[in-house]
Amino acid sequence: MVRERRRIMLTILAIAWATFAISTMLAIGEGLRLNFAKTVANSGNNLLTFKGGHTSIVYLGLPAGRKIYLTKSDYARIANLPNIKHMTPVYSVFAKMRYGDKNLNKEALLVNEQYAKIHNIDLLPGGRFISKLDLLQKRRVIVLGEKTSQDLFPNNPNPIGLYLYFANELYRIIGVMQHKSEMMGRHDNDAMMNWLPSSLHKTFGGFQAIDSIDITYKNADRLVALENWIGRIVARNHGLDPNDENIVHFRDYAVRQENINSFFLGLEVFLGLVGLLTLIVAGVGIANVMFATVNRDTCEIGIKMALGAKRYQIIWPYIKESSFAMLQGGFFGVVLSGALVFLLGLIPLHGKLFEVIGRPKAVLSFGVIVVVILSLGVVGMLAGFFPALKASKIDPARAVSYE
Amino acid sequence: MNLVELKNISKIYKTGAVKFIALEQINLTINKGEYLAILGPSGSGKSTLMHILGCLSTPTSGDYLLNGKNVASLSVNQLAKVRNQNIGFVFQNFNLLANLNIVDNVALPLVYRGIAKEERTKKAKELLTHFGLGGHFSHHANELSGGQQQRVAIARSLITEPDIILADEPTGNLDSKSGDDVIHMLEKLNRDGKTIIIVTHDEKIAERTKQIIRIVDGKIM
């Protein structure tokens, strides 16, 4: 009896360890998935960007391989399409940026007021993004990216209201971007960018083509149709073959987000399976203890059968006992896992890598706990069921005289 | 109507190619209120006959009519129900559950019948009091003498008010005085109308019953 009690205690410990393993693994997987989903979403949700491509079909006597540049006319017609939520033209400019004695080569994007919504850009308190009025009045205002602000104003975290020179023109700083971790940015990371009103693009002279158009769409199911319409509009505006698929280059971020999400979901499932394997080993331990218990109880089972116990009345106590052992071990395991997840969250994550990928934290979410409880329940039931089935098949005539 | 009717009952155990005939063409009729002994030496088949009579095992061939109903080919759960409703067992080793007190031991058959705890406890206590164990309700089996344990077992066999009491060597583990007490108790139960079947190898015990069925090599003599 003492030996069996010790064996059950050890089994409960094994279950606690297995639950700890499965919960922690799933929590780490869940944390990674949520972190990367958020980091990727920071580049923009339902984001589609596109730029001019080149012709790949000979059409109306013109050769293949001609470069296509998006124009204001393209932009205006595309803006009328349904399924577009936000839209901005993007002109890219490289120029010297100067403040005091600091003189840096920086890139600025000339965009409209919707860019901040498209790319999930939040600003430091007191700042704002480019407005419609800025665009209409062609104000010389600039929103700084996080990195530019740090480079130019290392001792001033929020230089709103100050003036700087960009391409030898004076600009007033109206906003500074808040930090965000980001992957798959449109132009490197937004932290490296700066933004000006798109209506100023002519002041930079040179070729006036739109570098790209960034949009967010309303309905992902109609994305293919939207891309087809954009292709047709550009083809018609430029006198190109509408069947030429290369005249516009699309980058669909939702597909990339989905791929990354699928990868981390797969990783989470893998980690969960590793934990489940440990749990199954513990379940086998419980089953062994239960088989030993059934052997010990043979005479008692025979007596109960003789007194009229039906099959389920023999089976149920063993399933209850194994499930209870699972529950006890599972409880300790989840508590331990919760403690570890809490401690892991206290570890500071510094460095360039974490600025890009964010700071992943293990998350013992409701979903993870439900998966753990279900796994424990199923393994516990099975661990008790087979020994119980053996018990219910005992021959009562032999069992009543079993020593 | 006969309470028990065995028609051409045989029980054959097979181990690989080896066959062992434990009972062969047994025909037996037992009426309500009878008090009889199945007598035979060790290995004669008397325990096998008792297991069949108690629905603990089924015959290889033949019919077993209990209250007119053939129970020879019932399912496991149906047999459990028949045992619970129609048969009370008294075993040589008492077969009380060590982890239960004597009230819960006596009440156990009613658990399988789905009777509420309060009712079954009340009934168990009444029976135990009737058998002189009123002061031992909280005791476990190992805290009682052999005679007391067998009285608990008899109380347990009666709690479902069965048609038959099957007693397998009921005095086998008792001293002569306690054994005598148990036999007196069974005789009294018979006088009250219960059908009692004692399975024994002891001629003296058998002679105290109203009818003796002798069994040798699986056949009734």
Average confidence score pLDDT of chain A: 85
Residues in chain A: 403
φ, ψ of residue A87 in degrees (nearest 5) = -155, 140
Residues A52 and A162 in one domain: yes
pLDDT band at A2 (very low <50, low <70, confident <90, very high): low
Q: How many domains does chain A have?
A: 2
Boundary of a domain, candidates A198, A225, A256: A256
Is the model's pLDDT at A206 over the cut of 70?
no
Contact B105, B156 (CB under 8 A): yes
Over residues A207-237, the pLDDT tens digits come to 678 999 999 998 888 888 999 999 999 999 9
Over residues B4-31, the pLDDT tens digits come to 999 999 999 988 888 899 999 999 999 9
Which residue range(s) make up the domain with A288? Answer: 2-42+258-399
- pLDDT of B6 reads 93
Residues from chain A that touch B109, judged by Cβ atoms under 8 A, are 307-308
Phi-psi sector, A163: left (phi>0), alpha (psi -120 to 50), beta: beta
Residues A247 and A290 in one domain: no
Over residues B117-131, the pLDDT tens digits come to 999 999 999 999 999
Residues A282 and A381 in one domain: yes
- Closest-CA distance of chain A to residue B87, Å: 8
Q: How many domains does chain B have?
A: 1
* Sheet strand arrangement including B219-220: B87-90, B164-168, B195-200, B35-39, B211-216, B219-220
Over residues B205-217, the pLDDT tens digits come to 999 999 999 999 9
Is the model's pLDDT at A188 over the cut of 70?
no
B contact set with A (CB within 8 A)? 47-48, 51, 54, 56-57, 76-77, 80-81, 83-85, 89, 91, 93, 95, 97, 108-109, 112-113, 156, 160
B118 occurs within a structural domain: yes
Q: What is the value of ipTM here, to two decimals?
A: 0.92
B26 occurs within a structural domain: no
Which residue range(s) make up the domain with B200? Answer: 33-59+74-220
At which residue do the structure tokens 């109203």 appear?
B210
Contact A45, A216 (CB under 8 A): yes
B3 occurs within a structural domain: no
Contact B80 A310 (CB under 8 A): yes
- pLDDT of A181 reads 63
Which residue on chain A is closest to B48 by alpha carbon?
A: A397
B129 occurs within a structural domain: yes
Return the structure tokens found at A147: 């990195």
Work out how many CB contacts closer than 8 A connect A with B. Answer: 55
B182 occurs within a structural domain: yes
Is the model's pLDDT at A184 over the cut of 60?
no
Residues A135 and A282 in one domain: no
Q: At a CB cut-off of 8 Å and minimum separation 6, what does B42 contact?
A: B201
Residues from chain B that touch A313, judged by Cβ atoms under 8 A, are 112
CATH number of the domain bearing residue B117: 3.40.50.300
Is the model's pLDDT at A249 over the cut of 90?
yes
Which position has the higher pLDDT, A300 or A39?
A: A300
pLDDT band at A286 (very low <50, low <70, confident <90, very high): confident
Boundary of a domain, candidates A240, A256, A272: A256
Percent of chain B with pLDDT over 90: 68
B17 occurs within a structural domain: no
B39 occurs within a structural domain: yes
Boundary of a domain, candidates A224, A256, A288: A256
- pLDDT of A215 reads 93
Please state, in angstroms and rounded to a whole number, the distance separating the CA atoms of residues B63 and B140. 40
Percent of chain B with pLDDT over 70: 100
Residues A30 and A65 in one domain: no
Contact A287, A387 (CB under 8 A): yes
Which helix H or strand E contains A252, and what residues bound it? strand A248-252
Contact A163, A170 (CB under 8 A): yes
Residues A262 and A386 in one domain: yes
Contact A396 B56 (CB under 8 A): yes
Over residues B89-112, the pLDDT tens digits come to 999 889 999 989 999 999 999 999
Q: Is residue A33 packed enough to be buried (19+ CB in 10 Å), middle (13-18) or exposed (0-12)?
A: buried
Residues A262 and A251 in one domain: no
Q: Which of A308, A311, A400 sits opposite B84 (nearest CB)?
A: A308
Among A71-80, A266-275, A386-395, B139-148, which stretch is predicted with the lowest mean pLDDT? A266-275
B16 occurs within a structural domain: no
Over residues A352-387, the pLDDT tens digits come to 666 656 667 778 888 888 888 888 888 888 888 888
User: Looking at chain A from residue 269 to 328, which residues have their Cβ under 8 Å from any Cβ of chain B?
Assistant: 299-300, 303-311, 313
Residues A92 and A227 in one domain: yes
Residues A347 and A212 in one domain: no
Which residue on chain B is closest to A309 by alpha carbon?
A: B112
- pLDDT of A18 reads 82
